Structure 1
């Protein structure tokens, strides 16, 4: 037994050590946080499950052995827990100034419970069957991971609660995430279920309960829990949305569900704009579309995040003919999301989108048909980006998941401009064929690299008033992969904003300052300075702001910084200095 234990410890260490060392060199996972906890949680589940099957096969020969199975494996469990924790703490301290408390909380709630879950399932399988135990365990592992896809496919939601992953907020653009009461309650319910499952496994071993009966109890419990998840707020179906939002209006092509906080006149305008954009989209794509689209409009990003996830990102589900919008900004994204659904008529895969779920093609066609980015056409924006040094390879953009490696506006603009070029030059009919069968040579008799050359020659002839400052405003941001402590900073900033809005300026100032120290985010600095202004600390705010402004000169926030600094100079009666910044903003614009 000692030999088996030593081999298991060595195998576990050889898996966990290299993986966690490698993670130290990749963004997001190089600190102790949500992403690293998910990865280690998956490893924990698999390793302890294999260990449970191996241990029960070789060492459990009596009821006493079975009752002491955790005691026999305490060293194994402790070493497994400590390897990622120690390396995660070390990496967080070495590579960032992120607070450890949030990372440890994610580790405790997401990663550690998987030890119980994986071990219990391994033991339960060992009691039920004598052959194919490892294959059965791996099959159950993938089945558990598949359940969120079922919810995502058939329900409006894009978030999910899952046994192995814990929780996923919806999109990578949603940085605001923390361990909240709902996630804690979900994990507590799971812990209770698996403690009961341990008890059932023991009863099977002692032959006081039949295997068939125990299996029926477990399967029935899992099925019942799956169907009551919407009532517990762990998933969202259309029925829950209708009860939560309450507003409903029908048009020729839409069924619109909207928040009860939106008044009747606003809802009428909402409905008219839906139909107006719909007509534009079907004309531009040259397609008939008779099915009704379900449009769901939330009061704000907080209501949307609570009910379906993806609080900040408006989204569409073409296969369900559903679009999801935030009311304050719906007119900026409505046409874009309608394109996604209408394009589903010639889309492929079960999701009715571009072949291979290609994100550049999916977003490119929506950007091309929308053709409006803050008042600019996609070609004008692409030319502005290109001339200002924000250049990317179109061939690379349309390959794999490289779409997400750039700042979002850059990928969206170039994808949209290139797709519009193809549509205008070669016709929308070929573009629709390409959407469901991404083979550029087949439809254009030219490979993608040749089409990219043509596109860049075309782009050179686009006339746009060149302003490098405007380009910096639109394209100078960072992806989530390049931000410091992105999830913790987003959540803590949100809490600080609530303090500010509640008039608790001293607390807000301290909270914003704390976030800014480790994240360096503009949102935190802006909140800090506005809190100081409310507290009439004009001189200290000016000094601090002046010392920090150079850190943002290459970012889209440069202009906000200069405007706020000008305001601070006015408050300190330094009119000439204020005039300098105000004049500078006028010139840059």
Structure 2
């Protein structure tokens, strides 16, 4: 054991000791495996070159390679042991996945580093070029990954030492990816081919038989070549052409090339998809005063994915929408006309003409990307209609003492350390304030290099103070504060217990429940609650799954136990609402009705209020068809049958008509939904229900080209006392005017 090996081992131990106190890296999991993949790979490369040259191990014998490989793997033993022991201090929820990541990433990285050095030493011997080749091979692979991420759609990728780059930090759920397993299988085959070939070369030079090693090398090379040719099918090195081929559909409009899934459902919605893109383009052109298509001379490429899983498989990021403005393209999910995802990601592309650097982003002193301004600009342009506006939410966060210092969010790295809801909302509010107060041109000047003094004649400290004074003057009621606490008082990924594992288990539980497999959902939720017993969302999901299985008493007992512990008012209302569902399902309609009404008294978000009012109305009547539909377990097809049968049996019930119309509206069956929504209009007995019914009806009129009727409905709704629906109606009025002015019906 050489002195340099002991130094390398000591360095690894020190890094592991520090990692034990760094969130995410303090677990036996993905982040720590990637860290030691890079460190271990580089150290293995250097140690192998130095010691092989010193020991005259230049012949390339397989046995010598094995000896060096085993010795280099020893660098990982103590760090892995320290992180394992750290599991006594920090919860480590999935040891199997953690050790799998270490084997696939860190272990294989050491073997790849050893192999890179072994090839250089065997072929070049004692030359200065040996060191350049040994380190150059993995570094070139790293550069290739960076180039691929910069020039192709995916935000995930693979590299010799890093193993797997997971993309956005906001996609918390992460299990061992199939693509990583496939990638390392290819590496294992390549290692066999290289070592066997070098061993055969050494045998020939010594006059020994090498038939079996030659055969092994050839077979491994053939298998590797075939596997490499089909690598994109396993999620490795996916490019734009592969994604376009997998999606299959293409629409070309004045400003877009839209790639979408070529299925029957998507073909029916293609015209609306195209129109929605063009409307958003015109809306953002007016907001920013820029025209990126005119600026670059090429159309925006928009990749629209069928669902989160297909998006994750093709380009990474199940939950993260992406705009690579330097490539003039965006990658989104689309839930229908008016979906804000187009607006947000397209807004990024509209900042391209006034961005800076090769990526056309907001740069901080020409070095770091100012993500606070990048995302703040998109949020300010999108300005979604919600229960609370970004200004109101910012006021509530400051009042609740959960708002981070805005000056920190404006830094190159501070934005990522906060929970996304807080960071996006606060920066969106600040940027919107700047634009509304000083105009878009001043903001564009500040955006390029983060030069606030040059653009506004005021320091960023002064501007933030102005914004704080503006925000603090906003008045809120108790309900708005509690809604804000519910929405924004959440830890970032760095402050969660087993963040990635817990998110993955919850994802699997949700998927199982959606597919009608509550028993399977309970298996995943048992793990979540074992690691975090007080997690309200997991308790709710568990109780709901018990309800699906008819185990109402167990579900009620679980909810009662959690409700006896400290909990926010909105979370309490959510659990109480679920408690009402279980009571109603078990035949206790009167108790369920009282529970629903009690939730309404607490003040809840609009979507929950709408659902509660409907359930309370029918529970008070012990209405059995409503119970089966509103709180029962049913598939999509069965649900439509149930509510349609209910509406047929009770044609004068506006609630049944509303629910049938809503179901058809969700399925984009506009003409079928129309008579049901017309029948329900103004008859539902609660402003929030009537407002949503009007919003759907106005949209249906829009889609069936009854513009005058849509205009009447939206104008009336724009006067609603419920701000969210009033804002939505105003935007649909703008869309109607745009369509009239541009003749956008040509997209239909």
Query: What's the CA shift string for 1:74-130, capped at 9, x where partnerless?
Result: 763453232122122212243115121111111111111112100011121223431
Aligned-partner SS, 1:374: coil
Alignment of structure 1 residues 541-552 onto 2, 5 Å: 541-549=555-563
Q: How far apart, CA to CA, are the structure 1 residues paired with 2:164 and 2:234?
A: 15
Shift of 1:489: 2.2
Unaligned stretches of 5+ in structure 1? 210-216
Shift of 1:202: 4.1
Unaligned stretches of 5+ in structure 2? 207-217, 605-748
Aligned-partner SS, 1:95: coil
User: Would the aligned equivalents of 2:576 and 2:595 in 1 still touch at CA under 8 Å?
Assistant: no
Shift of 1:522: 4.4
Shift of 1:204: 5.9
Query: What's the CA shift string for 1:216-236, capped at 9, x where partnerless?
Result: x9xxx9999988744553132
Query: What's the CA shift string for 1:298-345, capped at 9, x where partnerless?
Result: 111011001111111111110111111112378022111111011111
Q: Which has the higher contact order (CA 8 A, sep 6+)?
A: 1
Shift of 1:357: 1.7
Aligned residue in 1 for 2:344: 336
2:531 alignment partner, one of 518, 529, 533: 518
Shift of 1:359: 0.7
Aligned-partner SS, 1:161: strand
Aligned residue in 1 for 2:24: 28
CA distance change for structure 1 residues 82 and 431 in 2, over 3 Å: closer, same or farther?
A: same
User: Would the aligned equivalents of 1:565 and 1:578 in 2 still touch at CA under 8 Å?
Assistant: no
CA distance change for structure 1 residues 547 and 394 in 2, over 3 Å: closer, same or farther?
A: same
Aligned-partner SS, 2:404: coil
Matched, 1:304 2:316: no
1:90 alignment partner, one of 74, 79, 85: 85
Write out the 4+ residue segments of structure 1 that deviate beyond 6 Å after TM superposition: 221-228
1:360 alignment partner, one of 350, 372, 383: 372
Q: How far apart, CA to CA, are the structure 2 residues paired with 1:321 and 1:224?
A: 34
User: Would the aligned equivalents of 2:409 and 2:423 in 1 still touch at CA under 8 Å?
Assistant: yes
Q: How far apart, CA to CA, are the structure 2 residues paired with 1:339 and 1:456?
A: 25
Aligned residue in 1 for 2:594: 579
Q: How far apart, CA to CA, are the structure 2 residues paired with 1:61 and 1:343?
A: 57
CA distance change for structure 1 residues 201 and 321 in 2, over 3 Å: closer, same or farther?
A: same
Instruction: Say how many residue pairs are matched.
Output: 577
User: Would the aligned equivalents of 1:294 and 1:321 in 2 still touch at CA under 8 Å?
Assistant: yes
CA distance change for structure 1 residues 171 and 259 in 2, over 3 Å: closer, same or farther?
A: same
1:533 alignment partner, one of 534, 537, 547: 547
Tell which deviates more after alignment, 111-120 or 415-424.
Answer: 415-424
Query: What's the CA shift string for 1:186-216, capped at 9, x where partnerless?
Result: 111111112222234445666859xxxxxxx
Shift of 1:56: 0.9
Aligned residue in 2 for 1:319: 326
CA distance change for structure 1 residues 551 and 239 in 2, over 3 Å: closer, same or farther?
A: farther
Q: How far apart, CA to CA, are the structure 2 residues paired with 1:463 and 1:550?
A: 32
User: Would the aligned equivalents of 2:190 and 2:224 in 1 still touch at CA under 8 Å?
Assistant: no
Aligned-partner SS, 1:94: coil
Matched, 1:115 2:87: no
Q: TM-score normalised to the size of structure 2?
A: 0.71
Aligned-partner SS, 2:259: strand
Shift of 1:12: 2.6
Shift of 1:390: 2.6
Query: What's the CA shift string for 1:512-549, capped at 9, x where partnerless?
Result: 21232124544543332222112221112211222234
CA distance change for structure 1 residues 17 and 575 in 2, over 3 Å: closer, same or farther?
A: farther
1:245 alignment partner, one of 241, 244, 247: 247
Query: What's the CA shift string for 1:262-299, capped at 9, x where partnerless?
Result: 33442222221211111111111112332411111111
Aligned-partner SS, 1:28: coil
Aligned residue in 1 for 2:215: none
Query: What's the CA shift string for 1:113-149, capped at 9, x where partnerless?
Result: 1121000111212234311544544444432222222
Alignment of structure 1 residues 394-473 onto 2, 5 Å: 394-465=406-477, 467-473=480-486
User: Would the aligned equivalents of 1:96 and 1:518 in 2 still touch at CA under 8 Å?
Assistant: yes
Aligned residue in 2 for 1:350: 358
CA distance change for structure 1 residues 576 and 534 in 2, over 3 Å: closer, same or farther?
A: closer
RMSD of aligned residue pairs (Cα, Å): 3.0
2:490 alignment partner, one of 474, 477, 489: 477
Tell which deviates more after alignment, 125-134 or 528-537.
Answer: 125-134
